[in-house]
Amino acid sequence: MRKGATTVAAVDAIASGLASRSLTRRRLSDEVTAELERLIVSHQLKAGDTLPSERALMGVFGVGRTSIREALFALQRKGLVAAQPGLRPIVSAPRAESLVSDLSGTVRLFLATEPGMREFQRARRFFEPAIARFAASHATPDDHRRMTLALKACEAALGEPERFVDADVDFHFAIVQATHSELLIALHRAVLDWLREQRISSIEPQGSAQAAHRAHRRILEAIVAGDADGAERGMLAHLDEVETYYWKARRAAPRARGRSPSRTSTTTPATRRSR
């Protein structure tokens, strides 16, 4: 009986929530968002078109100003409209960056866990070697030039961890630019931003930055030579090596935090025996 009473109470609470004004307002704004999005996707509203005023939209949809503003804000976050203070929103062509920007918070939370990081590393092993392979067959002289400059920056930054990470990110980004795909470039930029913490950790062990630079050089040589198999193998080996260094650094970090230098430096063998 008690369980049944609890279920009834829960149903009553949900029903009461559904009847609340705030939930109804959100539902209405979602409907407005969906309808405007449908018109944009179907090209009935085209990029560059100016949307009607808030008052006109309120009349068309039969909803309040709050619902219209929430709908326009949702469309703006999706990259479907652009808005400036004092001006009516304009329909805009969505950019690839908009497709991945809203994922950042969720992905960073996911990467904060060990299983999440391992899953992400596994995904990276799938698409980065494929990108390197593509670059070996399709990169232009300008692409080669960007990669070469990034590789030189990596060499110049050896011994300076933060500078090396920046140069490392630039090198990988130069490779994906050879795809000339707006979506891949945006996704890859986001991936490298999300994995920046991994790169910082993976170059902490001694010799790791030098190993990464050697791997970069092998990958670039294969891409310039048009060796697709070599570029793919080189990138996969590089990512495996980066992961090894990363988890080595992660395992060492708790031990380092657990040490107390002051206690170690002032405690003698005789003192330890007296305890």
| Range name among 17-31, 190-204, 251-265 with the lowest pLDDT average | 251-265
77 part of a folded domain: yes
Q: What is the largest CA-CA distance in the chain?
A: 87
- Integer Cα distance of 23 and 224 in angstroms: 58
Given 94, 126, 146, the domain boundary residue is: 94
What per-residue confidence (pLDDT) applies to 6? 53
Domain that holds residue 137: 101-252
Check: pTM over 0.75? Answer yes or no. Answer: no
Decide: 107 and 198 in contact? Cβ < 8 Å: no
Give the contacts of 66 (CB within 8 A, at least 6 positions apart): 25, 29
Partnered with residue 90 across adjacent β-strands are 50, 82
Report which of residues 259 and 111 the model is more confident about. Answer: 111
**CATH, residue 46:** 1.10.10.10
- Integer Cα distance of 33 and 30 in angstroms: 5
For the record, the structure tokens of 34 come out as 């969906």
Give the contacts of 195 (CB within 8 A, at least 6 positions apart): 111, 120, 124
**Do 110 and 82 share a structural domain?**
no
What sign results for the dihedral spanned by CA atoms 199, 119, 185, 222?
positive
- Integer Cα distance of 209 and 155 in angstroms: 9
Q: Say how many CA atoms lie within 13 Å of 80 toward its Cβ.
A: 20
Q: In whole angstroms, how large is the CA radius of gyration of the chain? A: 27
144 part of a folded domain: yes
What per-residue confidence (pLDDT) applies to 266? 41
Number of domains within the chain: 2
Tell me the residue type at 102: D
Measured in Å, how far apart are the chain's first and last C-alpha atoms? 61
The angle formed by the CA atoms of residues 66, 85 and 61, to the nearest 5 degrees, is 30
Segment 39-77, tens digit of pLDDT: 888 888 888 899 998 999 999 899 999 999 999 998 888
- Integer Cα distance of 188 and 131 in angstroms: 10
216 part of a folded domain: yes
What per-residue confidence (pLDDT) applies to 19? 53
268 part of a folded domain: no
123 part of a folded domain: yes
What per-residue confidence (pLDDT) applies to 271? 41
What per-residue confidence (pLDDT) applies to 24? 46
**Do 172 and 241 share a structural domain?**
yes
36 part of a folded domain: yes
117 part of a folded domain: yes
Neighbours of 122 (CB within 10 A): 11
- Integer Cα distance of 99 and 188 in angstroms: 12
**Do 84 and 127 share a structural domain?**
no
Segment 144-178, tens digit of pLDDT: 999 999 999 999 999 888 889 889 989 999 999 99
166 part of a folded domain: yes
Given 33, 66, 94, the domain boundary residue is: 94
Tell me the residue type at 10: A
**Do 109 and 84 share a structural domain?**
no
**Do 218 and 174 share a structural domain?**
yes
Question: Is the model's pLDDT at 20 over the cut of 70?
Answer: no
Segment 127-152, tens digit of pLDDT: 999 999 999 999 999 999 999 999 99
What per-residue confidence (pLDDT) applies to 121? 87
* Whole-number average pLDDT of the chain: 80
**Do 205 and 112 share a structural domain?**
yes
- Integer Cα distance of 181 and 175 in angstroms: 12
Question: Is the model's pLDDT at 252 over the cut of 90?
Answer: no
**Do 108 and 196 share a structural domain?**
yes
**Do 234 and 114 share a structural domain?**
yes
**Do 107 and 88 share a structural domain?**
no
Confidence of residue 12 (pLDDT cuts 50, 70, 90): low
